[in-house]
Amino acid sequence: MELFKIFENWAIEFNRIHYLFAVLCLVYAIVKILKLIVKRNELTRVLKPFAGPPKHWLFGHILEFKQDGTDLFKFVEWSNSYPFAFPFWFGPFVAYLNISHPDDVKKVLASTEPKDDFAYAFLIPWIGEGLLVSKGQKWFRHRRLLTPGFHYDILKPYVKLMSAGATTMLDKWELLSKSDESFELFEHVSLMTLETIMKCAFSSNTNCQSTKGESNSYIKAVFDLSNLVNLRLRTFPYHSEWIFQLSPHGYRHRKACKVAHSHTNKIIRERKEALKDEKELHRIQAKRNLDFLDILLCARDEDQQGLSDEDLRAEVDTFMFEGHDTTASGISWTFYSLACNPEHQQICRDEVISALEGKDSMEWEDLSKIPYTTMCIKESLRLYPPVPGIARVASKPVTFFDGRSVPAGCLIGMSIFAIHRNSTYWENANVFDPHRFLPENSAKRSPHAFLPFSAGPRNCIGQNFAMNEMKIVVAQTLRRYHLIEDPTKKPEMIPRLVLRSLNGIHLKIKPVDL
C-alpha cells in the first residue's frame, strides 16, 4: 500500500512537471509568434516605398514558382515590370529587396557587406563558415590567407591536369559519338570537374571518371544537398531549425552532409599524414607543385596562427563544392549554347584548331589564343549564369541611386539571371551574341551588368581557375566533336544553388574530321 502511494505521488509530480513544461512551451511559442508578427510589420513598413508583385498573406511569392523550368524568367518579368527594385517574400516573415540597377548592385557589392544571414545560414551545416559565408574579420583573414592559392604560379601547372581530365571525358564519349541518340552530359561534366579539382587542389588521383565509388557518392550528396537547401528556402516552416531537423528532409540532409564531410575529412587526413614532416611551402615545392591544400595547411597570419581544424574543413568543403559544381554548370550550359548556335560553334572550332597547331591538348600559352571562344563562354555565362542569384545583408543604411533607402539589417537580393537578361542593359537580351564581349562593346557597358563571378571584394576567389578550366574543356571538346542540339529534349532551367536543368542537358555529338 505504501509503495502504491509512492508511485501515485510520483505520477502526480510527473503530471505537474509535464503540465508546467507544456505551459512554458505554449508561452514560448506565443512570444515567438508575436516577435515574428512585429518583424513582419516592420519589414512591410520598410519595403512600402518599393512596389512589387502581389503576394499571398501566408506564402508570400513562393506559390508563383512552379519548379517547371520557368521560375527564373519570373524574376526577369518582375525586373522589367518593377525597374530597379522590388520586394520578394519567402513566406510570411522573410523578405528580400531584389535590386537590378548596376549602380545599386555596385554600391552593395563594392563593400564587404556580409552574405545574407538567412539563406546562406542553411549552407553552414554542410560547408561550415568558410570563405563563402563567413563575415567580418574572419572573412578578411581567410581571404588573405587563401589568396596565394590562386596566384599565377599556382594556377599554371593546373592546365595540364585540366587538359588530362577533359581528355579522359572525351575519350569516354567516343562510343556516344557513334550513336544517333542524345545523352545527358551534366553528370559526365560533373565527374570530370570533380576529378580535376581533386587533382589540382588536393593532388588526389581519384580516377572518378573511370570508376564508380566514393566520388560518385560525393556528387550525389552534393546534388541532394543543393536540392534540400533550395527546398528549405522555399518551404517556410522549414525556416525553423527544429522543424526541419525533425522532418524526413532533415534526416536526408544530415545523411548527405555525413557523406560530404567523410569525403573531405579523408582528403585532409591523408594530406596531414603526408606533410607531417614538412611545415614550409618552399620545402614542399622543391618536391612537387604546390596545391590549394598545401597553402591551406601552411597558411599563417601575422601572429603565426594557422587555420583551425574546423576552419580548414570549412574551406575544403567550400572549395570542393564551388570548385566542381559551379564549373560543371558553366561548361555544360556552354556546350548547350554552342550546340544551339552551330555558326558560332564553327568559328570557335576553327580558332581552336589554329591555336593548337596540330596538338591534341591545351597548354598555358594557348589560353590567350582563343578570344572568340572566350567571348562565347562569356555569352553563355550571361545567358546561363552558374550562380543565378546572390544576396547580402545591409550592415548599415543603404540609399539607392533613385533616392529610396533601406535600413541596416535589410536583406538585399540580386538575381544575376534577371540582370543578365534585362533589356535595359542588353539589346536583344535573349539572343546568343558573343560580339557583346568585344573590348569596344564591353567598354560601353557597366561592369556590374555582367556578374557571373559576382564583383567587389567578395567576388569569386577562384574565377581565374574556373575560366581556365572552361576554356580548356570547351576548346578540346570542339576540336574533337560537333555538338548538336536535341530539339526534343529542351532543358528546363532550375536554380539549385547552381543553375541546373530539371530534365538534364541532352546533346548529340559527332566526330570532327580533321
For the chain, first and last CA: distance in Å?
100
Determine which helix (DSSP H) or strand (DSSP E) holds 110, and give its type and residue range.
Answer: none
d(CA 229, CA 389): 14
The number of residues in the chain equals 514
3-state DSSP assignment of residue 274: helix
pLDDT for residue 298: 80
Backbone angles phi, psi at 25, to 5 degrees: -60, -40
**CA-based diameter of the chain, in Å?**
100
**Contact criterion met (CB below 8 Å) for 505 and 333:** yes
pLDDT for residue 287: 52
* 460 annotated among ligand-binding-site residues: yes
Q: How far, CA to CA in Å, does 272 sit from each of 146, 195, 320, 455? A: 18, 20, 17, 34
pLDDT for residue 297: 81
pLDDT for residue 290: 74
Helices and strands, number each (H, E), in the chain: 20, 11
Q: How far is CA 98 from the centre of its chain?
A: 18
Backbone angles phi, psi at 328, to 5 degrees: -60, -40
d(CA 12, CA 21): 14
Q: What dihedral angle (degrees, nearest 10) is formed by the CA atoms of 250, 254, 256, 262?
A: 170
pLDDT for residue 273: 78
3-state DSSP assignment of residue 398: strand
pLDDT for residue 173: 96
Tracing cell 525553423 back to the chain, one arrives at 240
pLDDT for residue 216: 76
CA-based nearest residue to 321, from 429, 218, 230, 252: 218
List, in order, residues 6 or more apart from 261 with CB less than 8 Å away: 313, 317
d(CA 23, CA 30): 11
3-state DSSP assignment of residue 161: helix
Cell numbers at 126, concatenated: 554542410
CA-based nearest residue to 152, from 468, 372, 366, 377: 468
Backbone angles phi, psi at 408, to 5 degrees: -60, 145
pLDDT, averaged per 10 consecutive residues of the chain (514 residues), comes to 57 62 72 80 93 94 92 95 94 94 94 88 94 91 88 89 96 94 95 92 80 73 94 92 94 96 88 68 58 82 81 91 93 98 98 95 96 98 97 93 93 97 94 97 95 95 96 98 97 95 97 86
* CB half-sphere exposure, 137, CA atoms < 13 A: 1
Cell numbers at 264, concatenated: 573531405
Q: Regarding beta strands 411-415 and 94-99, do their DSSP bridges make them parallel or antiparallel, or are they unpaired?
A: parallel
Predicted structure pTM score:
0.92
List, in order, residues 6 or more apart from 240 with CB less than 8 Å away: none
**Contact criterion met (CB below 8 Å) for 97 and 412:** yes
d(CA 337, CA 341): 6
Determine the residue type at 507. L
Cell numbers at 71, concatenated: 521560375
pLDDT for residue 303: 77
